[in-house]
Amino acid sequence: MTEDTTKARVGFIGVGLMGHGMAKNILAKGFPLAVLGHRNRAPVEDLVARGATEVKSAAELAQVSDIIVLCVTGAPQVEAVLRGENGILSTAKAGLHIIDTSTSEPTLTMALAAELEARGIFFCDSPLGGTPVQADEGTLSAMVGAQDSAFAVIEPVVAAYASRIVRVGAPGAGHTMKLLNNFLSLGYGAIYAEALALAAKAGVTPQVFDAVIRGGRMDCGFYRTFMGYALDGDVNAHRFTITNAHKDMRYVTNLATNTGAAAFISATVKNLYATAEGLGNGEKNVPLLVDVVGQMNGVQKS
């Protein structure tokens, strides 16, 4: 892919499960791309083969980028790549735009945006909706929190990997909306797991359960990927770990605390994922919650 030197130079940190596909599409749209090396070499080497440049530190990345995309796990990792040794902020110059696509804490995002604006650096949150397959296809959705001028700068880069872009407000609004979105999906995951356990105790098979729900008003994309494990045993039908689910639900309950909101259901959902992780299931994907809740109910996996 030939670089378009009239386009912004893009740096990318976090070329993992989601990030590789996103970075690949940024390259495909002609943006000059630099990526931070990672212990998982396969995606880095693939991107270099496609025309990307590899750098050795976040500080070096900031020196060669106009826009940096972060696709990391959460708030601690965001702060680490920004403020850590050889972090972005050690070399960042005025005019740099940072797009944080992680699921992070809205309060941190708002604080960073205010702090960096004083340095002429624009911090925008643009968390994602979708799967690694959609990242590879460039058809993710993005919930963007940014100032008007910053949004105009970053939108072409976001459009390289997202086919649906919703501007939700100022910095912090994107992460707020992402947490609400994940609360819905993870809450449904908890409901599906409990419903399937109740079904099993009453003698209703997952196949019968699915025959009623699929195609009805309660059917949706998340239901189908969740049931990919319950029905067919596909452990990768929905690739999002219980540890990440617990982290996101902690952020949801933190948001409730910070806004003074009552959080009856979100606290319960958070505690279920915390229990599942505490029982040693953290690296398993969310649909395997059905086994955890089943075991709590004395349901033997068929």
Residue 72 has which token pair?
């990391």
Residue 192 and residue 142 in one domain = no
Answer for the pair 128, 144: CB distance below 8 angstroms, yes or no: no
Domain count for the chain: 2
Q: Is residue 191 part of a domain?
A: yes
* Contact partners, residue 119, CB within 8 Å, separation at least 6: 92, 94
Residue 163 has which token pair?
């086919």
Query: What is the spatial distance between Cα 249 and Cα 246, in angstroms, rounded to a whole number?
Result: 5
Answer for the pair 103, 173: CB distance below 8 angstroms, yes or no: no
Last residue of a domain, one of 152, 169, 186: 169
Answer for the pair 242, 276: CB distance below 8 angstroms, yes or no: yes
Residue 260 has which token pair?
């003074």
Residue 257 has which token pair?
């605390």
Closest to 231 measured CA to CA, from 254, 247, 211: 211
Handedness of CA 88, 150, 172, 223 (dihedral sign): negative
Last residue of a domain, one of 145, 169, 193: 169
CA distances in angstroms from 30 to 15, 143, 154, listed in the order given = 18, 23, 15
Query: What is the spatial distance between Cα 130 and Cα 162, in angstroms, rounded to a whole number?
Result: 9
Last residue of a domain, one of 153, 169, 185: 169
Residue 150 and residue 210 in one domain = no
Q: Is residue 1 part of a domain?
A: no
* Contact partners, residue 160, CB within 8 Å, separation at least 6: 22, 25, 26, 28, 29, 31, 138
User: What is the model's pTM?
Assistant: 0.90
Owning domain of residue 215: 176-296
Can you give the CATH number for the domain in which 112 is found?
Answer: 3.40.50.720
Residue 288 and residue 183 in one domain = yes
Per-residue pLDDT of the chain (302 residues; tens, 9 = 90+): 455 668 999 999 999 989 999 999 999 999 999 999 888 899 999 999 999 999 999 999 999 999 999 999 999 999 999 999 999 999 999 999 999 999 999 999 999 999 999 999 999 999 999 889 999 999 999 999 999 999 999 999 999 999 999 999 999 999 999 999 999 999 999 999 999 999 999 999 999 999 999 999 999 999 999 999 999 999 999 999 999 999 999 999 999 999 999 999 999 999 999 999 999 999 999 999 999 999 999 997 76
Closest to 144 measured CA to CA, from 178, 110, 116: 178
Residue 210 and residue 123 in one domain = no
pLDDT at 17: 87
Residue 59 and residue 139 in one domain = yes
Residue 79 has which token pair?
């702060």
pLDDT at 40: 86
